[in-house]
């Protein structure tokens, strides 16, 4: 789907900026692009993007604002946000699940001992769509999951028109989902997390830290398109 940019896409040392004279120094210090785990302070921005992306299409949001805060409190390490100069432009929110198939409980629960990551939502701000950001962020997220020793697969539910999009990211159709929302039905899809043994042994060194770390996107990432 997209080019590989390295086996450790998240932990890249910050490059020291060359010394410049005060007259040409940048007026702000926000990185042009960064990927980091979300926190509860991001909840409103998350919900605004989600609401605009889904309400106009299906009339339903995967997560309401209180549910966004709920998961960003319980398991922020299973979220990922893409920021451009401090502005959230795309995100993923997930949680752990402990059964083979998704049930209605998976919509609200986080099972810390589970080995399946339930991806609740992937959304991109309307201004930044059609730029390949959704697939790039999903790729980064799946590579991150490969570094977690207890995660064995990712699962999600989607409407049928989104199946080709997720197939491009490597997801496979599992079958009709048991969950319905209003009059909407869904297909359940899954992705095997078969991380390399080396990556799993060294996962403590490359997983998201407890405190957000600036994770600059590479130029190669910006050039990938779908």
- Hey, which residues are catalytic here? 95, 109, 120, 122, 166
In the three-class reduction of DSSP (H, G, I as helix; E, B as strand; rest coil), residue 87 is classed as: strand
**Dist CA 151 CA 189 (whole Å):** 16
Cα–Cα separations (whole angstroms), residue 188 to 85, 162, 211: 35, 11, 33
Angle in degrees, 0-180, between the axes of helices 65-74 and 43-55, rounded to the nearest 10: 130
Residue pointed to by tokens 């209003």: 182
- The Cα–Cα gap between 108 and 151 comes to 19
Q: What is the dihedral of CA 181, 88, 131, 32, to 10 degrees?
A: -160
Q: Output the 3-class SS for 153-218.
A: EEEEEECHHHHHHHHHCCCEEEEEEEEEECCEEEEEEEEECCCCHHHHHCHHHHCCCCCCCCCECC
Per the CB < 8 A criterion, the answer to whether 190 and 154 are in contact is: yes
């Amino acid at each position: 789907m997209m080019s590989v940019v390295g086996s450790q896409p998240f932990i890249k040392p910050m490059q020291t900026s060359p010394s410049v004279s005060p007259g040409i120094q940048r007026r702000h210090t926000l990185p042009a692009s960064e990927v980091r785990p979300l926190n509860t302070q991001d909840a409103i921005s998350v919900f605004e993007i989600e609401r605009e992306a889904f309400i106009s299409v299906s009339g339903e949001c995967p997560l309401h604002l209180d549910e966004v805060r709920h998961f960003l409190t319980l398991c922020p390490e299973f979220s990922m946000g893409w920021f451009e100069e401090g502005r959230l432009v795309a995100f993923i929110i997930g949680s752990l699940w402990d059964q083979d198939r998704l049930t209605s409980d998976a919509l609200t629960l986080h099972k810390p001992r589970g080995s399946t990551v339930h991806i609740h939502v992937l959304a991109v701000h309307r201004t930044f769509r059609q730029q390949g950001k959704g697939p790039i962020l999903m790729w980064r997220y799946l590579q991150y999951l490969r570094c977690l020793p207890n995660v064995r697969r990712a699962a999600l539910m989607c409407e049928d028109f989104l199946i080709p999009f997720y197939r491009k990211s490597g997801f496979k159709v599992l079958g009709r989902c048991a969950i319905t929302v209003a009059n909407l039905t869904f297909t359940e899809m899954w992705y095997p997390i078969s991380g390399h043994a080396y990556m799993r042994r060294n996962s403590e060194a490359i997983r998201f830290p407890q405190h957000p770390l600036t994770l600059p996107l590479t130029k190669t990432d910006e050039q990938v398109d779908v």
